[in-house]
Amino acid sequence: MREQIRDKGRLEHILECVNNIYEFVGDFELSQILDDKVRYFAIVYQLVVIGEASNLLTTDFRDSHGETPWRDIISMRNFIVHGYNLVDKNEVLQVIEDDLPVLKAQIEQYLSEIE
């Protein structure tokens, strides 16, 4: 039970980070994000937190929710942190555009199941 409570908190952190990214993107075109260093690095930091929170979810939770690509999310966090000078900015934009909407819907679903 304690771990389930921790999972809920981690899912809430992930959702908060996704919402922060949407707030940071705002009305900007995604290509404009690359020109705004503060905004871009704020988004990248949120991706790191999403990866860390995903890594801290219990194995049972991740295994029972295999439709979410947890390994990819955690790997991206590791790549950003350890390969920071190799991060492809266009890949970050692709994650925002293609992956975050799906992740947000999944996390919201998981939280509704817990509550």
d(CA 115, CA 82): 36
pLDDT values of the chain reduced to their tens digit, one per residue, 115 residues: 457 679 999 999 999 999 999 999 999 988 898 889 999 999 999 999 999 999 999 999 999 999 999 999 999 999 999 998 899 999 999 999 999 999 999 999 999 998 7
Which are the catalytic amino acids?
Answer: 77, 82
The pTM for the full model equals 0.93
Q: Which domain holds residue 77?
A: 2-114
Number of domains in the chain: 1
CA-based torsion, 65, 42, 32, 15: positive or negative: positive
